[in-house]
């Protein structure tokens, strides 16, 4: 099973809202990633968790706050986002860092 | 040195034809080269991958050709089908790096 699941599929939020994205994998992977993808562009790395510890933060604004409660779960907390943050947010996992990454279906985020 | 250059940006092929997408890299430390296929509104799906110790890898209609001396690799899709219409990303990494993506190729296969 190489499935990474993400919820919700779609999210519309105002600039003052607080929301969270959720990612789950049950492949025993110990590395999990958040990416942001704009239309017609490759995914851009935001955060990497390795063994439930944040190992890479690609200078992402503090309005994005990641959390890894356990080895199977990854959250991305959103607060006070801007319209330019509208994008497809992808979660990925791999056995370790680095290794083959498996992506989830993404959450389509629209910030009004 | 972390760049992966991908071409063409878009490609239109007739059904049954061969689709060819090319990538080039500079960093000789890269040692793993995956290709991802992405349909609109979906996440990238791993299609096929190769390590530089082999020159070719085939899985069904998909073949990666790898030229280590030229620092180039390419994806060939044989007997292209309309269902292959998607965006394809080449990528590369090594033990100390992040996954580096090419800019993507939007493939359209006409029926």
Per-residue model confidence (pLDDT) at position B2: 64
Q: Which residues of B57-96 are buried (b: 16+ CB within 10 A; e: fewer)?
A: beeeebbbbbeeeebebbbbbeebeeebbbbbbbbbbeee
pLDDT above 70: percentage of residues in chain A: 98
pLDDT tens by residue, A63-76: 999 999 999 999 99
Q: To the nearest whole number, what is the mean pLDDT of chain B?
A: 94
Q: Where are the strands (E) in chain B, listed by range?
A: 4-7, 10-14, 19-25, 33-38, 45-50, 56-59, 62-67, 72-77, 86-92, 100-101, 105-110
pLDDT-derived band at A99 (thresholds 50, 70, 90) equals confident
CA-nearest residue to A104 within chain B is B43
Q: For residue A15, count other CB atoms closer than 10 A to its CB.
A: 13
Quick check: A98 contacting B, CB < 8 Å? yes
Tell me the mean pLDDT in the region A75-99: 94
- Tens of pLDDT, residue by residue over B60-106, are 999 999 999 999 999 999 999 999 999 999 999 987 778 999 999 99
Sign of torsion, CA A88 A53 B99 B34? negative
Residue A10 touches partner B, C-beta closer than 8 Å:
no
CA distances to A26, A69, B34 from B49, rounded to whole Å, are: 22, 31, 4
Percent of chain A scoring above 90 in pLDDT: 86
Mean of the per-residue pLDDT values for chain A? 94
B87 vs A contacts (CB less than 8 Å): 40
């Amino acid at each position: 099973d190489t499935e990474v699941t993400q919820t919700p599929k779609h999210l519309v939020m105002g600039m003052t809202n607080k929301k969270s994205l959720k990612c789950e994998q049950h492949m025993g992977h110990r590395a999990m990633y958040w990416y942001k993808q704009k239309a017609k562009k490759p995914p851009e790395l935001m955060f990497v968790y390795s063994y439930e510890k944040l190992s890479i933060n690609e200078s992402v604004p503090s309005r994005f706050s990641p959390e890894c409660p356990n080895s199977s779960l990854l959250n991305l907390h959103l607060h006070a986002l801007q319209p330019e943050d509208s994008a497809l947010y992808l979660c990925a996992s791999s056995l370790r860092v680095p290794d083959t990454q498996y992506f989830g279906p993404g959450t389509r985020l629209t910030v009004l | 040195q972390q760049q992966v250059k991908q071409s063409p940006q878009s490609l239109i092929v007739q059904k049954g034809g061969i689709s060819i997408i090319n990538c080039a890299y500079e960093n000789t430390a890269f040692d793993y080269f995956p290709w991802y296929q992405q349909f609109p509104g979906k996440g990238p799906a791993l299609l096929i991958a190769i390590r530089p110790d082999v020159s070719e890898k085939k899985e069904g209609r998909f073949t990666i050709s790898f030229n280590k001396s030229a620092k180039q690799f390419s994806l060939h899709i044989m007997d292209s089908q309309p269902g292959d219409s998607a965006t394809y990303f080449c990528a590369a990494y090594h033990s100390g790096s992040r996954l580096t993506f090419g800019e993507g190729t939007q493939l359209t296969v006409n029926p």
